[in-house]
């Protein structure tokens, strides 16, 4: 579990329907990390959130070394010898020498080997010519090499004492390589958050169950489980809850006692069978509900004790859009990685929207393509229904339309949020 409770006044507002930017601002301002720390081996740190700053205790690389297989020499001797050097020693990677090069001498050296004292330049072996004379080995290096050629300097990658990574960073393979290069074997990371998934509705069935007329398979569970897979969390499945007020209440109470975050789908409106809203009001605090967005208006935020509560709409499109826009940043922040807002870019629209309701931010499913000139454009999925999983599958991102926009003409720039920016392939 966590070592810090949520702020009691998080999400508080005095509007019936919050704008998108207002909701994000409240979440960023009122939430803070709750995950405790643990020490793990570097081999177990992939995709964990770093809980400490990493600095280099020594130069990386530790010493000047050769970037190629070739011949190391003093560049100052080059003009005197005309590129003609006597071979003095042979140096392989992992076998450093303290024997300095004699004047007008060169060393046979291999990639990664430490440069011998006095040497500052390396000629590639394929550019050199070797021969013997009077029982001695010599090498002729090519003209035109600059001083320092093919030599990697100590600290060239990271200097001693330099910052490598900061706390809050989600560790990628290349980050682990950077930490390994400093010699660290174990690091402090934030513990994974525990997220409880709850599905609601008499009509829901899990794949493999028998289906009757009026039943629906619970696609949201697998959608949310997959979306959570890219985050530093562990999932606990609380199953499908029937539309029973007592059952919903006892399950949410149990989930909140065991999880850092409780994430539900369905039951977020005020219908007779929408018990999630009522249970949250009974067990905890419903601090934010009804957003001025489409899809996803009835999404709710709150807390049950120390557990953050996020109630998503039941329609799959709305559930995914709300997860990406709000749930994912909240989980990231609570887990110690900061509030991760998506990075988008403008691209011409390959579609028209004759009219759009003002004062509401809308998110269309879209996919990139090219027009007749070969320029990149974004297409809008032709149907807008919140229950159409096909649109999520065919899209490769979301098209974000601000509140003040009331129509879109083909060719106008629109903001595109690629799914890749949310960690989705």
Whichever domain contains 161, its CATH number is 3.90.105
Within a domain: 205:
yes
- Average pLDDT on 82-108 reads 94
One domain, residues 160 and 133: no
One domain, residues 182 and 253: no
Contact (CB, 8 A) for 100 and 116:
yes
pLDDT tens digit sequence for 209-258: 999 999 999 999 999 999 999 899 999 999 999 999 999 999 999 999 99
Of the three residues 280, 300, 334, the one that is the final residue of a domain is: 334
One domain, residues 222 and 317: yes
- Please determine, for residue 275, whether its predicted confidence score (pLDDT) is greater than 90: no
pLDDT tens digit sequence for 50-87: 999 999 999 999 999 999 999 999 999 987 878 899 99
What CATH number is given to the structural domain containing 94? 2.170.190.11
Q: Which domain holds residue 128?
A: 65-152
Within a domain: 320:
yes
One domain, residues 69 and 135: yes
Within a domain: 7:
no
- Average pLDDT on 155-168 reads 97
- Please determine, for residue 19, whether its predicted confidence score (pLDDT) is greater than 80: yes
In the chain, how many domains are there?
4
- Please determine, for residue 38, whether its predicted confidence score (pLDDT) is greater than 80: yes
Question: What integer pLDDT is reported at residue 266 of this predicted model?
Answer: 87
One domain, residues 106 and 141: yes
Of the three residues 152, 175, 201, the one that is the final residue of a domain is: 152
| Cα–Cα separations (whole angstroms), residue 41 to 45, 50, 158, 163, 176 | 7, 12, 22, 20, 11
One domain, residues 326 and 374: no
- Average pLDDT on 104-110 reads 96
CB atoms inside a 10 Å sphere around CB 289 = 22
The 8-class DSSP code of residue 218 comes to -
Burial class (CB in 10 A: 0-12, 13-18, 19+), 56: buried
User: Nearest CA to 255 among 217, 303, 198?
Assistant: 198
pLDDT tens digit sequence for 137-161: 999 999 889 999 999 999 999 999 9
What percent of the chain shows pLDDT beyond 90?
Answer: 81
Question: What integer pLDDT is reported at residue 15 of this predicted model?
Answer: 55
CB atoms inside a 10 Å sphere around CB 288 = 23
Of the three residues 334, 360, 389, the one that is the final residue of a domain is: 334
Within a domain: 340:
no
Question: What integer pLDDT is reported at residue 425 of this predicted model?
Answer: 82
Residues making up the chain, counted from first to last: 425
3-state secondary structure of 248: helix
One domain, residues 277 and 381: no
Q: Name the band, by pLDDT with cuts 50, 70 and 90, for residue 272.
A: low
One domain, residues 125 and 207: no
**144/146 Cα distance (integer angstroms):** 6
Residue environment code for 302-328, b if the CB has 16+ CB neighbours within 10 A, otherwise e: bbbebbbbbbbbbbbbbbbbbbbbbbb
pLDDT tens digit sequence for 309-338: 999 999 999 999 999 999 999 999 999 999
Cis peptide before 64 (omega within 30 of 0): no
- Please determine, for residue 31, whether its predicted confidence score (pLDDT) is greater than 90: no
3-state secondary structure of 150: coil
- Please determine, for residue 14, whether its predicted confidence score (pLDDT) is greater than 70: no
Please state the separation of Cα 398 from the chain's center in Å.
Answer: 18
What is the DSSP annotation of 152-187?
A: EPTTSSB-TT-EEE-TTPBPPHHHHHHHHHHT--EE
One domain, residues 387 and 366: yes
pLDDT tens digit sequence for 359-405: 999 999 999 999 999 999 999 999 888 889 999 999 999 999 999 99
Question: What integer pLDDT is reported at residue 27 of this predicted model?
Answer: 84
Within a domain: 385:
yes
What percent of the chain shows pLDDT beyond 70?
Answer: 95
Q: Which two tokens stand for residue 212?
A: 């009757």
One domain, residues 181 and 200: no
- Please determine, for residue 11, whether its predicted confidence score (pLDDT) is greater than 80: no
Q: Which two tokens stand for residue 388?
A: 């159409």
**199/315 Cα distance (integer angstroms):** 12
What CATH number is given to the structural domain containing 406? 2.40.340.10
Q: Name the band, by pLDDT with cuts 50, 70 and 90, for residue 298.
A: confident
3-state secondary structure of 223: helix
User: Nearest CA to 281 among 255, 253, 323, 258?
Assistant: 253
**207/218 Cα distance (integer angstroms):** 7
Question: What integer pLDDT is reported at residue 271 of this predicted model?
Answer: 62
- Average pLDDT on 328-357 reads 95
Question: What integer pLDDT is reported at residue 12 of this predicted model?
Answer: 45
Mean pLDDT value across the chain: 92
Within a domain: 339:
no
Q: Could you tell me the end-to-end alpha-carbon distance of the chain, in angstroms, rounded to an integer?
A: 30
Q: Name the band, by pLDDT with cuts 50, 70 and 90, for residue 269.
A: low
User: Nearest CA to 171 among 64, 349, 47, 19?
Assistant: 47
**415/361 Cα distance (integer angstroms):** 12
Question: What integer pLDDT is reported at residue 8 of this predicted model?
Answer: 45
One domain, residues 230 and 180: no
Question: What integer pLDDT is reported at residue 268 of this predicted model?
Answer: 65
Bridge partners (DSSP) listed for residue 187: 40
One domain, residues 111 and 160: no
């Amino acid at each position: 579990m966590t070592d810090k409770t949520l702020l009691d006044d998080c999400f508080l507002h005095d509007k019936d329907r919050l704008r998108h930017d207002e909701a994000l601002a409240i979440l960023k301002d009122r939430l803070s990390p709750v995950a405790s720390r643990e020490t793990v081996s570097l081999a177990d740190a992939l995709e964990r959130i770093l809980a400490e700053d990493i600095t280099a205790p020594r130069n990386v690389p530790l010493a000047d070394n050769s970037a190629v297989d070739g011949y190391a020499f003093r560049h100052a001797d080059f003009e005197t010898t005309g590129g003609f050097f006597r071979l003095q020693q042979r140096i392989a990677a992992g076998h450093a020498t303290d024997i300095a090069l004699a004047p007008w001498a060169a060393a046979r050296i291999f990639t990664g080997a430490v440069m011998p004292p006095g040497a500052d330049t390396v000629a590639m072996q394929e550019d050199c010519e070797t021969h013997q004379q009077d029982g001695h080995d010599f090498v002729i290096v090519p003209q035109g090499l600059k001083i320092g050629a093919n030599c990697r300097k100590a600290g060239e990658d990271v200097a001693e004492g330099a910052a490598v990574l900061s706390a809050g960073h989600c560790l990628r393979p290349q980050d682990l390589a950077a930490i390994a290069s400093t010699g660290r074997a174990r690091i402090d990371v934030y513990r994974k958050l525990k997220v409880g998934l709850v599905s609601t509705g008499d009509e829901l069935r899990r794949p493999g169950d028998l289906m009757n007329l009026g039943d629906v398979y619970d696609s949201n569970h697998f959608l949310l489980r997959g979306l959570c897979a890219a985050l530093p969390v562990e999932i606990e499945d609380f199953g499908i809850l029937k539309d029973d007020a007592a059952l919903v209440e006892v399950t949410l109470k149990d989930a909140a006692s065991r999880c850092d975050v409780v994430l539900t789908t369905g039951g977020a409106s005020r219908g007779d069978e929408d018990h999630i809203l009522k249970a949250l009001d009974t067990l905890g605090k419903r601090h934010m509900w009804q957003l001025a967005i489409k899809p996803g208006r009835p999404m709710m935020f709150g807390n049950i004790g120390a557990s953050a509560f996020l109630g998503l709409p039941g329609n799959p499109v709305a559930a995914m859009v709300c997860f990406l826009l709000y749930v994912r940043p909240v989980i990231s922040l609570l887990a110690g990685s900061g509030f991760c807002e998506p990075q988008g870019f403008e691209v011409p629209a390959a579609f028209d929207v004759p009219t759009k309701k003002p004062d509401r931010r809308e998110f269309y499913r879209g996919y990139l393509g090219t027009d007749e000139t070969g320029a990149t454009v974004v297409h809008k999925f032709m149907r807008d229904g919140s229950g159409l999983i096909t649109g999520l599958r065919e899209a490769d991102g979301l098209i974000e339309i601000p509140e003040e926009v009331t129509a879109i003409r083909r060719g106008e720039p629109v903001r595109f949020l690629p799914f890749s920016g949310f960690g989705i392939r």
